[in-house]
Amino acid sequence: MGGNENNNAAEAAKKVFVQRDYTHGTDCKYETTYPSQLEDVIARETFTDTVNKINELFGRSEELNCHNYTEGCLSCMTGYLLYFCIETKYAKEMKQISLFIQRQNDEIYHPRGVHIVEPMLRGLRCIELIIYPNPHKPV
């Protein structure tokens, strides 16, 4: 019987998708347009700040600099065995994004009945927000 309760709660939850913003090219950036489904749930400024920070973190992960070029050259020279010894800058940035989203969920979104799904789990196509009918911390 417990399974039916979980299914009913999952069915009642609403999903909101924040799409990628391709106005400045194919960089991983998400729209900051406030979804109407979040009215009276999350403040507009809070949502915008969260998406802007996610955009900033993705921007840092994709920037081209001396470190990235050196990492690429060294990995090529070692037959990509280098990646068994070090973690790439991109992987480190993805962990930072995951930690940021987890912190935002714990501190801001879960108490208001909203859960942000990591964009990496959706192939970086969108940011999914799940709105639960009764504010509680999702499992």
Q: Can you read off the two tokens belonging to residue 88?
A: 């790439």
pLDDT confidence tier of residue 56, bands split at 50, 70 and 90: very high
The side-by-side arrangement of strands in the sheet containing 114-117 is: 14-19, 126-131, 114-117
pLDDT of 11 reads: 57
Q: Can you read off the two tokens belonging to residue 56?
A: 């900033």
Task: Among 5-14, 24-33, 44-53, 64-73, name the most confident range.
Answer: 44-53
d(CA 108, CA 46) in angstroms, rounded, equals: 9
- Is pLDDT at 64 greater than 90 in this prediction? no
One-letter amino acid at 17 equals F
pLDDT in tens, 79-91: 989 889 999 888 9
Lowest mean pLDDT among 4-8, 32-36, 86-90, 128-132: 4-8
pLDDT of 135 reads: 61
pTM for this prediction: 0.82
CB atoms within 10 A of CB 97: 20
Q: Which three-class secondary structure state does DSSP give residue 49?
A: helix
- Is pLDDT at 21 greater than 70 in this prediction? yes
* Higher pLDDT pick, 24 / 96: 96
- Is pLDDT at 127 greater than 90 in this prediction? yes
